[in-house]
């Protein structure tokens, strides 16, 4: 039995994590969940958004499944997600975006992996109020972090039989910071002659992505552009309800959906659990439970091909109905 840290999050987090645990249990996943808390619940209980117990649990177990956690906007505690990535040195955020069988979208040839630097850039949160009418936010880009993420992206490309890495920046404007990131990507590219390398400015990249996404393979981006562009790529294959991700470093991996806590649909049985479920499927593969992972994938795709879908991807099933159908398909196997 593998011990995995579980963070049920808030907003739709508890609904979708319970749905996912149900499916994993039915499929026979051999997991001992180590439940921990973070975010508003933790502030109330321990007066900190990211308790030491939670961080230590992930350090110990090395693998976590995390549902979304709300970050107060413009005030309140710092993003737990950002803190967690920093604390555990989860320097790479990998967001694969590929068409899912039976989810019809504008394009049917999308197979893009967004590799996003996860520890610095404007996410460093170094902000200052200069005066009542002026605020300053500092963008940090370092050589070490840029080389580390570039190497991760090229290494990923090699290990996963990808053809090309495209570095995406705004180096024409942020000449020093994005310029440094680009320089590191170029240096790394030279060490991987078997992988094609190209560069694109982020604004052009967004336009090209919505016109001709089939041209892209692995995208390598600094933190903020990576965050924004990966929501765009999620939209290309059916939206946030199906977009999976992993935050990974040298020692630990935290699997989570790309989407947030969706407070607008909290408690309405409307949330699509697919993004967290697909993240959990990747987690099962990561801990070596491949058979269970493929069984779940098959049941999920069968459910979608039976046209049982939640509203965000054009169906009318409630979250609970969708999960019941996946479990029925698991039972039939
Ligand atoms: P969001 O991703 O929560 O929601 C954006 C839109 O997508 C909403 O209309 C929502 O209903 C819909 N949506 C998202 N997930 C869905 C699902 N599984 N099924 C069906 N519809 C879904 O983004 P928003 O509203 O900007 O952020 C809400 C909160 O989540 C904020 O506090 C933000 O900081 C936090 N957040 C947390 C993340 C994490 O924990 N990794 C990531 C992104 C945001």
**pLDDT-derived band at 175, boundaries 50, 70, 90:** very high
CA distances from 323 to 92, 145, 147, 308 (A): 30, 40, 42, 10
Token pair of 238 as six digits = 């059916």
Distance (Å, rounded) from C-alpha 184 to C-alpha 178? 10
Ligand 1 centroid–CA 259 distance in Å is 5
Token pair of 308 as six digits = 């049982």
Q: For 293-308, what is each residue's pLDDT tens digit?
A: 999 999 999 999 999 9
Sheet holding 164-169, edge to edge: 31-36, 2-7, 63-66, 253-257, 244-248, 92-98, 111-117, 218-221, 164-169, 196-201
Quote the percentage of the chain above a pLDDT of 90: 92
pLDDT, residue 75, reads 80
pLDDT, residue 102, reads 84
Q: For 225-246, what is each residue's pLDDT tens digit?
A: 999 999 999 999 999 999 999 9
Residue 78 has pLDDT above 90, yes or no: no
CA distances from 270 to 92, 168, 318 (A): 31, 35, 5
Mean pLDDT of the chain: 96
Q: Judge contact between 85 and 98, C-beta under 8 A.
A: no
Quote the percentage of the chain above a pLDDT of 70: 100
**Which is it for strands 111-117 and 92-98: parallel, antiparallel or unpaired?**
antiparallel
The long-range contacts involving 302-311, CB below 8 angstroms and separated by at least 24 positions, are 302/329, 303/329, 304/100, 304/101, 304/102, 304/103, 305/101, 305/102, 307/102, 309/103, 310/241, 310/270, 310/271, 310/272, 310/274, 311/270
- Pocket-testing residue among 13, 42, 68, 267, ligand 1, by greatest number of atoms within 8 A of Cβ: 68
Q: Is 29 in the pocket of ligand 1 (CB under 6 A)?
A: no
Q: For 10-65, what is each residue's pLDDT tens digit?
A: 999 999 999 999 999 999 999 999 999 999 889 999 999 999 999 999 999 999 99
Q: Is 15 in the pocket of ligand 1 (CB under 6 A)?
A: no
pLDDT, residue 72, reads 85
Q: For 323-333, what is each residue's pLDDT tens digit?
A: 999 999 998 87
């Amino acid at each position: 039995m593998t011990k995995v840290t579980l963070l049920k999050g808030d907003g739709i987090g508890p609904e979708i994590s319970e749905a996912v645990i149900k499916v994993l249990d039915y499929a026979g996943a051999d997991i001992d969940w180590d439940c921990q808390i973070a975010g508003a619940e933790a502030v109330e209980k321990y007066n900190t958004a990211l308790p030491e117990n939670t961080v230590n649990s992930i350090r110990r177990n090395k693998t976590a499944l995390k549902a979304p956690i709300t970050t107060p906007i413009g005030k309140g505690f710092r993003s737990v997600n950002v803190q967690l990535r920093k604390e555990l040195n989860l320097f790479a955020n990998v967001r694969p975006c590929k068409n899912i069988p039976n989810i019809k979208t504008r394009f049917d040839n999308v197979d893009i992996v967004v590799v996003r630097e996860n520890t610095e850039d404007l996410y460093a949160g170094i902000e200052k109020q200069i005066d009542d009418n002026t605020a300053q936010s500092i963008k940090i880009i370092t050589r070490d972090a840029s080389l580390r993420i570039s190497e991760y992206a090229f290494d990923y490309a090699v290990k996963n039989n990808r053809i090309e890495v495209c570095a995406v920046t705004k180096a024409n404007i942020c000449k020093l910071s994005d310029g440094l990131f680009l320089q590191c990507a170029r240096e790394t590219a030279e060490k991987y002659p078997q992988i094609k390398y190209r560069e694109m400015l982020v604004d052009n990249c967004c336009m090209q992505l919505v016109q001709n996404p089939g041209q892209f393979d692995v995208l390598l981006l600094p933190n903020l552009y990576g965050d924004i562009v990966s929501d765009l790529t999620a939209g290309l294959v059916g939206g946030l309800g199906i977009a999976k991700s992993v935050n990974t470093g040298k020692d630990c991996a935290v699997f989570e959906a790309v989407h947030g806590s969706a407070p607008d649909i909290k408690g309405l049985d409307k949330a699509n659990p697919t993004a967290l479920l697909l993240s959990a499927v990747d987690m099962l593969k990561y801990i070596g439970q491949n058979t269970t992972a493929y069984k779940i994938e098959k049941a999920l795709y069968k459910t979608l091909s039976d046209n049982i879908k939640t509203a965000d991807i054009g169906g009318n099933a409630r979250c609970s109905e969708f999960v019941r159908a996946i479990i029925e398909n698991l039972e039939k196997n």
